[in-house]
Structure 1
Amino acid sequence: MNEIPASRRNHAEVTATLRGWIEAGRWQPQEALPPERALAVELACSRETLRRALHTLSAEGQIWRHQGKGTFLGPGAADRTLPLQVLIESASTHDLIEARLVFEPALAAAAALAAKDSDISRMRELATATGTAANWRDYERLDDAFHRSIAQASANALLIGLYTNLVAMRGRARWQRHHDAVYRKAQKLEYATAQRALHLAIVEAIAARDQTAAHRAMTEHLTAIRRLLREAEDGLRSGRA
């Protein structure tokens, strides 16, 4: 197989294309990328240019490389020290929902102690609105606002900051594609109605100042989302979603 002339595409172009493929979910987390020779041909660049692009993405934590084994999507070994934002940017939807399951029930419990009456009114308003969203984009906006309102109600700047960073992935294409599939697969109105009930259960637990119930209600809500995301992911992989 002949080498592609170096003048075909430069480092910046190749790096941007690879980032786009990663963002679009072309490879799953920890999946091996194709061999360099095949990638260079597909990208119409030299292998030297490709290696520079891969080095850039590796430095960002988007991929990791193992001598003799290949290049893989996502951060490498757990003991590598990477900036929080890099970890978030390279996280899968599975990583995000698992992290939310650890963090958000505790955040709801904190809100049960600190929430003001005005905070609870705002949560209840948003929870109710999620059940009547006209379309997926409206639902996603309202759902995001609902969960943010719980973080705000904790009145803890550090917890709010950690939550804001954790859910930054919600705006990325991979999460949007999966959540859209969930919304469509669950028949839209039925999905929104079911999530409203789960949202309201969280609000009522917080309003009752019941930390245990708030933790449990948030866990039930996010566990349901995790199950639906897994089903949607299976559908996307099989081409049925």
Structure 2
Amino acid sequence: MPKTEILVQRIRDTIASEGYAHNDRLPPEREMCTKLNVTRNQLRGALARLESRGLIWRHVGRGTFVGERPVLNLDDVLYLRDQVTPPHVASVRLVIEPELARLAAMHSTPADREEIHACASRCREAPDWRSYEAWDNKFHHAIARSAKNKLFLYYFETLNVVRRSMVWGQPRKTSKPDKNYSSFLEHDQIKQAIEGKDRDFAAHCMKQHLHSVYGRILPSMDETAGDVRATIKDS
């Protein structure tokens, strides 16, 4: 593997292991050079590749941030966070993400599918829940990007930022996902459907995955969760 690609992977590993979320700012270049033991030119070359793949964005005078350059109005996101509940988020995900999986099966490139596969693999290898959740978020975001629909991506990213800004209160009884954690198989089914260009099955697998996720989370929430459980049952 070329040296620049090795450095690209090291930066991605750092982002995942240290729990950076979408739109989080990375450390200054000087600090990253010291941490990674590379020159400024080497670092900038790797960052340029990451930016070209939509994995980071840079703003002169502000720094380097995780994810694609946002088109979001962050004031609107903060407003939405204060107006919605976790069940609202769940019900919207059940509408948007299966369609994104369908579109990804139709329009994803080999590079897109490689990224989805890598994220699913990293979920299985996660040493703790924080790392798992970071890679799980990247898995869903990779599928959204693969749909090749900027308007859908805008809505997904708005929803994702709101979702990650909320406190879900999901209890964890282990330090990391069990090796037989149900989401691993569900991720594999989604990935395989997208790779096989089976758009209807991709949408079905994504819907079943979200049913599984919120079936675990919603029972611990307040009575407003019932509305979403009804949505899940009827969909």
**Aligned ranges for residues 95-106 of structure 1 at < 5 Å?**
95-106=88-99
Cα distance in 2 between the residues matched to 1:185 and 1:100: 26
Distance in 1 separating the partners of 2:179 and 2:214: 14
2:151 maps to 1:158: yes
RMSD of Structure 2 on Structure 1 (CA)? 2.1
Task: Specify the SS of the correspondent of 1:189.
Answer: coil
- Take 1:121 and 1:199, find their aligned partners in 2: how far apart are those partners? 14
What secondary structure, in the 3-state scheme, does the structure 2 residue paired with 1:155 have?
Answer: coil
In structure 2, the residue matched to 1:193 is 181
Question: Scaled by the length of structure 1, what TM-score is found?
Answer: 0.56
Letter in 1 for 2:211: T
> SS where residue 190 of structure 1 aligns?
coil
Quote how far apart the aligned CAs of 1:151 are.
0.6
**Aligned ranges 1:2-17 → 2 under 5 Å:** none
Asked if residue 94 in structure 1 is aligned to residue 82 in structure 2, the reply is no
Larger mean CA deviation between 90-99 and 165-174 belongs to 165-174
Following superposition, the deviation at residue 214 of structure 1 comes to 0.4
Q: Which one of the candidate residues 146, 156, 163 is aligned to 2:139?
A: 146
For the residue of structure 1 that corresponds to 2:125, the secondary structure is coil
Provide Cα deviations, 1:69-91, integer angstroms capped at 9, x if missing partner: xxxxxxxxxxxxxx963334421
Give the SS at the match of 2:178. helix
Deviation of 1:232 after TM superposition, in Å, equals 3.5
Confirm or deny: 8 A CA contact 1:109 1:212 kept in the other structure: yes
Structure 2 distance, partners of 1:104, 1:192, is 24
Tell me how far 1:129 sits from its aligned partner.
1.3
Q: Could you tell me whether the CA contact under 8 Å between 2:116 and 2:143 is conserved in 1?
A: yes
Q: What is the CA–CA distance in structure 2 between the aligned matches of 1:172 and 1:211, rounded to whole Å? A: 31
**1:176-224 CA-partner distances (Å, limit 9, x unpaired):** x33xx2xx14774327732111111101001111111001000010000
Q: How does 1:48-197 map to 2 (within 5 A)?
A: 85=77, 86-175=79-168, 177-178=169-170, 181=171, 184-185=172-173, 188-190=176-178, 193-197=181-185
- Residues 6-32 of structure 1: per-residue CA shift (max 9 Å, x gap): xxxxxxxxxxxxxxxxxxxxxxxxxxx
The sequence identity of aligned pairs, in percent, is 27
Q: Distance in 2 between matches of 1:166 and 1:192?
A: 29
**Inter-partner Cα distance in structure 2 for 1:205 and 1:193:** 20
Q: Which runs of 5+ in 2 are unaligned?
A: 1-74, 223-235
- Matched pairs, number: 147
Which has the larger displacement, 140-149 or 225-234?
225-234
Deviating runs (4+, > 4 A) in structure 1?
A: none
What secondary structure is seen at the aligned counterpart in 2 of 1:209?
coil
Q: Which runs of 5+ in 1 are unaligned?
A: 1-82, 235-241
Amino acid at match of 1:169: V
